[in-house]
Each structure stands twice: as structure tokens, then as C-alpha cells.
């Protein structure tokens, strides 16, 4: 176990091991919450970087009927069945058994009134504490769709409409979510930084060489919205899971 400021982080040899260890912490947090209060609420990131983590989590026996599932962002203007929809991603990676048992609350990017949808989802978030938030970090250091130009560590909102920066949109192409940059939506709905970090426990899963620059900025750069994920260094209740490729640019 390593530590940078208040943030704990662990380095694993590969994505599969990283995913299993992060899932073990997440599942333990969910079980403890259910045992203590009869239910649990969890927010999940939707991105290819989360594949191994979500697969391991779904292989773990959990009382999903007592767990409420939320997610943290969605493109504006695409339907739930669009190949790049985060609603579709989460449904496919959790699987039908989990969907049938859990209470799943989707953020609707195709709502006719984006401002109204932000308000609706904010009210859902306010219905009770969030026990677990399972994050990733973007290549530009974003958390959810809080890109550097729009991230606000003191944001008064819980959910907001944002314009995606070019590097974020380019990542969606390199991740295989869209075939061309022109097809990536320019706007999205996202939970804000304060909404994400308010969870009782956070896991942050960041594998891959393409995330090495963001990991270095997160752990060894200034705490600034230039790298929104750097705020994690202020959180003793977050664990960052990285692998050797994503840790490859860290200074000794």
C-alpha cells in the first residue's frame, strides 16, 4: 500500500489482478452497508477501463436486491440503446441478473429537458447517503465528465450539463465508443466533483499505459482543476487502483 497525501494507492501487475482487488474492496463496502443499515447505494463509472472490475464485482455474491445502482454521466442526445450509451454499458456489464434484482436509477441523456433531468437526478442523489462511488480517471484527468475547463471542486450543483473538451472527445474515439471525432457528442450530463467525492467510500480504477500521464498528474502534480482527479489526494476514504503500465511515469 502506498500513500500520496491522504490518498491510498496500490500498483498491480495487470488489469485482471487490479480488477479483482478493487472489486473485493467494493463488495466488502456494499456488504458492510447492507449489514449496517439494510441497504446500500452505489455510483458506477461506465468506461472500458472498468471492464475487469465490473466483471469481478458481478462474480461476487452480493445482496443486489438491497442495493441501489446509479451512474455518473451520460451523453446528451443519445438514446439508451445507442452503442455508446452509458446506460447500455452499465446494463451490459452488470448483467440481467443484477438488473433484475437491484434498483437501477439511470441518468437520461436523451431527456427533452436537460436542466430538468439534472434536477431530477439531483433529487435522487439527495434521497440518502451514497455508500460507494466507483470512479475512473480520464486521459485528461477528468472525473466523470468534469473535464479541466468545467471542473469545480466547490460546485454548488450535484448534476450539471457540460461541454466536453476535445481531449475527452478524442478519448471516446480511441476507446472505440465512436468511430470519428465528429460523431462524439459535444455535451453531456455529469455528476459534479462534490457529488462524487461525498460518497462514504471511493474506489478509483485506472489501468493502462494511456492513463499514465493522468495518473502522474493525479499523484504528483498540483491539486488543481487542471487535473480534476488530483482532488482525490485530499480524501482518506478513497483507494486508487493502478497497474504497472498506468504507473509507468511516476517518479520514485
Of the CA atoms within 13 Å of residue 128, those in its CB half-sphere come to 14
Distance CA 40, CA 63 (A): 9
Per the structure, the complete domain to which residue 118 belongs is given by: 2-242
pLDDT at res. 72: 98
Q: What is the pTM of this model?
A: 0.96
Q: Is the residue at 135 inside a domain?
A: yes
Q: Tell me the DSSP string of 210-224.
A: GGHHHHHHHHHS-SB
pLDDT at res. 1: 86
pLDDT at res. 175: 86
Q: Is the residue at 249 inside a domain?
A: no
pLDDT at res. 170: 93
The rounded Cα 10 to chain-centroid distance in angstroms is 18
Q: Is the residue at 247 inside a domain?
A: no
pLDDT at res. 128: 96
Cα 101 to Cα 29, 70, 129, 134, 180, distances in angstroms: 18, 14, 20, 20, 37
Beta strand residue intervals within the chain, DSSP E: 2-4, 7-12, 40-44, 67-71, 73-75, 103-105, 132-135, 159-163, 187-191, 201-206, 238-243
pLDDT of the chain, 252 residues: tens digit per residue: 899 999 999 999 999 999 999 999 999 999 999 999 999 999 999 999 999 999 999 999 999 999 999 999 999 999 999 999 999 999 999 999 999 999 999 999 999 999 999 999 999 999 999 999 999 999 999 999 999 999 999 999 999 999 999 999 999 998 888 999 999 999 999 999 999 999 999 999 999 999 999 999 999 999 999 999 999 999 999 999 999 999 999 998
Q: Is the residue at 17 inside a domain?
A: yes
Q: Is the residue at 250 inside a domain?
A: no
Give the count of domains, the chain: 1
Q: Is the residue at 248 inside a domain?
A: no
Distance CA 186, CA 177 (A): 14
pLDDT at res. 71: 96
Q: Is the residue at 252 inside a domain?
A: no
218 in Cβ contact with 232 (< 8 Å)? yes
Distance CA 192, CA 154 (A): 9
Q: Supply the CATH number for residue 223's domain.
A: 3.40.50.1360
Amino acid at each position: 500500500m502506498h500513500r500520496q497525501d491522504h490518498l491510498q494507492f496500490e500498483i498491480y501487475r495487470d488489469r485482471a489482478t487490479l480488477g479483482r482487488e478493487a472489486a473485493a474492496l467494493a463488495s466488502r463496502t456494499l456488504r458492510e452497508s447492507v449489514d449496517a443499515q439494510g441497504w446500500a447505494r452505489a455510483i458506477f463509472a461506465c468506461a472500458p477501463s472498468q471492464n475487469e472490475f465490473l466483471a469481478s464485482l458481478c462474480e461476487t455474491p452480493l445482496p443486489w436486491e438491497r442495493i441501489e445502482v446509479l451512474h455518473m454521466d451520460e451523453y446528451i442526445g443519445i438514446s439508451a440503446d445507442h452503442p455508446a450509451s452509458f446506460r447500455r454499458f452499465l446494463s451490459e456489464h452488470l448483467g440481467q441478473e443484477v438488473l433484475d434484482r437491484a434498483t437501477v436509477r439511470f441518468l437520461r441523456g436523451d431527456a427533452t429537458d436537460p436542466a430538468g433531468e439534472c434536477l431530477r437526478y439531483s433529487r435522487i442523489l439527495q434521497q440518502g447517503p451514497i455508500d460507494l462511488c466507483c470512479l475512473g480517471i480520464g486521459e485528461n484527468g477528468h472525473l466523470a465528465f468534469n473535464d479541466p475547463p468545467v471542473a469545480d471542486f466547490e460546485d454548488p450543483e450535484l448534476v450539471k450539463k457540460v461541454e466536453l473538451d476535445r481531449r475527452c472527445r478524442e478519448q471516446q474515439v480511441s476507446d472505440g465508443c465512436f468511430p470519428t471525432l465528429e460523431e462524439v457528442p459535444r455535451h453531456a450530463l455529469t455528476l459534479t466533483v462534490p457529488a462524487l467525492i461525498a460518497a462514504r467510500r471511493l474506489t478509483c480504477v485506472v489501468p493502462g499505459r494511456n492513463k499514465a500521464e493522468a495518473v502522474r498528474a493525479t499523484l504528483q502534480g498540483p491539486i488543481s482543476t487542471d487535473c480534476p482527479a488530483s482532488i482525490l489526494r485530499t480524501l482518506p476514504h478513497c483507494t486508487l487502483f493502478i497497474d504497472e503500465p498506468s504507473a509507468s511515469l511516476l517518479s520514485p
